[in-house]
């Protein structure tokens, strides 16, 4: 399947929206994360709308973009997928734990396309955590609002939520990566989280 001009427009739009942002604790341009999530979605059979939503999945949550403006530019389906991947659109954002608990509960009722993009996003995040944990060790946890315990809890809860609604190669890999993070952290599956 070849992507249309909508994909090109989404790519440029995502680059503009996130041009000054970097990944937590690094100088890596944030667009690299968006490209990686879009690649995971596309490589696992995602539709063009899902790939576009992957590029824009943090637009509502982390920029001034709104669901309405995304809908006008890329269509209602893309806007709904992006909204389904957002844990908050309010300013100020609710407390971290409340946002994460709400997001986990939402996974159980999220539309399939939102699950495709959401699980790809969390897989890439987990891969990055694992890579960074190997490189910097325990100092990694200071990057996260939930710290070590909260972050480990959140990723285990995400695995369980995704598995409760089905399985896919992305969800299966996500579980393996989370288990590896837990092992490095000395947690073991579900122990102490």
- Given a cut of 50, is residue 193 above it in pLDDT? no
The CA distance from 65 to 133, in Å, is 32
Question: Residue 160's pLDDT is what?
Answer: 97
Could you report the per-residue pLDDT of 157-186, keeping only the tens digit for each? Answer: 999 999 999 999 999 999 999 999 999 998
DSSP letter for each residue of 53-114? HHHTTTHHHHSS--HHHHHHHH-HHHHHHHHHT-S--SSSPPPHHHHHHHHHHHHTT--HHH
Count the neighbouring beta carbons within 10 Å of the beta carbon of residue 100. 20
pLDDT tens digit sequence for 7-34: 999 999 999 999 998 888 788 899 999 9
Q: Could you give the angle at which helices 5-17 and 31-43 cross, rounded to 10 degrees?
A: 150
Whether pTM exceeds 0.85: yes
All domains in the chain, ordered by first residue:
5-184 (1.10.3210.10)
43 in catalytic set? no
* Annotated active-site residue in 9, 48, 62, 172: 62
Active site residue 8: no
Which position has the higher pLDDT, 57 or 92? 57
Catalytic, out of 61, 132, 163, 173: 61
Instruction: Give me the pLDDT at residue 190, please.
Output: 43
* Confidence band for 4, pLDDT divided at 50, 70 and 90: very high
Structure confidence by residue, pLDDT tens digits, 130-150: 999 999 999 999 999 999 999
Instruction: Kindly list the distances between the CA atom of residue 190 and the CA atoms of 160, 167, 179, in Å, as whole numbers in the listed order.
Output: 10, 19, 9
Question: Rounded mean pLDDT of the chain?
Answer: 92
């Amino acid at each position: 399947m070849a992507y249309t001009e909508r994909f090109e427009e989404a790519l440029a739009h995502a680059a503009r929206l996130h041009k000054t942002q970097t990944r937590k604790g690094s100088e890596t341009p944030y667009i690299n994360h968006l490209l990686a999530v879009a690649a995971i979605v596309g490589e696992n059979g995602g539709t063009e709308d899902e790939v576009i939503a992957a590029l824009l999945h943090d637009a509502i949550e982390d920029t001034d973009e709104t669901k309405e403006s995304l809908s006008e530019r890329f269509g209602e389906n893309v806007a709904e997928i992006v909204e389904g991947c957002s844990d908050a659109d309010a300013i100020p954002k609710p407390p971290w734990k409340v946002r994460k608990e709400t997001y986990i509960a939402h996974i159980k009722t999220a539309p399939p396309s939102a699950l495709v993009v959401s699980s790809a996003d969390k897989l890439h995040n987990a891969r990055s955590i694992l890579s960074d944990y190997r490189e910097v060790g325990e100092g990694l946890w200071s990057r996260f609002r939930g710290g070590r315990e909260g972050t480990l809890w959140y990723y285990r809860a995400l695995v369980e939520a995704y598995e409760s609604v089905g399985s896919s190669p992305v969800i299966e890999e996500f579980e393996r990566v989370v288990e590896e993070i837990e092992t490095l952290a000395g947690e073991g599956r579900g122990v102490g989280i």
